[in-house]
Amino acid sequence: MKRILITLVVVFSTTLIFSQTVKPSGRIILTKGQKITVQSNISLEASLTGMDLTSTSATENALEVKQSDDKYSTVSNTITKLKVDMNMMGQATSYDSEKKEVPGTDIEKAFAEKLNKPVNIIIDNTGTPEAEKQKEKKDEAGDAAPVDGMLNMFADNSDAAVVSGAFELIPQDKKIGDSWTDSTISKEIKTVRTYTLSSITGSEALIQLAAVTNAVNKIELQGMEIEFKSETKTTGEIITDILTGLVKKKTTQANITGSFQLMGQEMPMSAKANSTNIYK
């Protein structure tokens, strides 16, 4: 039981970084060979079945434009660094991809397996992943590994979401003070976002974000099926380049409430997470 909860802590500490969006009208500007480094940091305070935990994580992703034309671009995403430090019931646990140690636990092995493996994502000229073009690759890959399911329990943390998260366009008819909305709906997750254009300084725009995500997800962990139900309310700020559509910085604060069913029992969970993503 304790081992399962520790695994869930790791999941908590590495999710909520990215959330795939439906991009408004406009066009992003990319060139073949262009590289973008994404540095993400999360701090977390959570309670699982009455047990308190804290966690911090740092992730670095390398994006590279493989090809680009007027309609589509292919951008690769590679996880290059991952560091997690957490404390649960006075017990400290950590993982650091930069330490050249052989992974010992199952979760360490799962994370190590995902490092330094580029995945190509096709996006349109608004930065939105082309679902149909990705579908064939997904089908060829077969069932996702359990860790992939865990990482997507509360937000879309897929390769497509990482790439899409690097772009944010402002509708062409919007002025300071105006708002607009978009949504993402799948079988497991529904997210509704509201954006407000706060200010423009030179070529940089500041956007205020408010989002609500409702998720119901089932995963299998150590031979047991676990069902999660959660509601995540997120607020944040996005700084984006209005000329290229490239995000420069994104900060969010998320409040999560919900429950999970384990061994026939429904257990409460709650968490607060602060994240900062910097794009260079």
Show the beta-strand stretches assigned E in 35-176: 35-48, 51-68, 72-88, 91-96, 119-124
Q: How many residues does the chain have?
A: 280
- By the 8 A CB rule, do 78 and 61 touch? yes
For the chain, domains (ranges, CATH) are: 2-279 (2.30.230)
pLDDT of the chain along its 280 residues, tens only?
555 555 555 555 555 545 555 565 578 999 999 999 999 998 888 887 778 888 888 999 999 999 999 899 999 999 999 998 888 777 787 889 998 777 776 667 777 888 999 999 999 999 988 865 554 444 444 334 444 444 444 455 678 888 999 999 999 889 999 999 988 887 878 889 999 999 999 999 999 999 998 988 777 766 777 788 889 999 999 999 999 999 999 999 999 898 888 777 888 888 898 999 999 9
CA distance 169 to 207: 10
* Residue 45: exposure state from Cβ atoms within 10 A (0-12, 13-18, ≥19): middle
Distance (Å, rounded) from C-alpha 160 to C-alpha 239?
Answer: 20
> Whole-prediction pTM value?
0.82
Calculate the dihedral angle through the C-alpha atoms of 46, 48, 51, 54, rounding to the nearest 10 degrees. -30
For residue 153, give the nearest of 3, 19, 1, 250 by alpha carbon: 19
- Cα–Cα distance, 42 to 236 (Å, whole number): 13
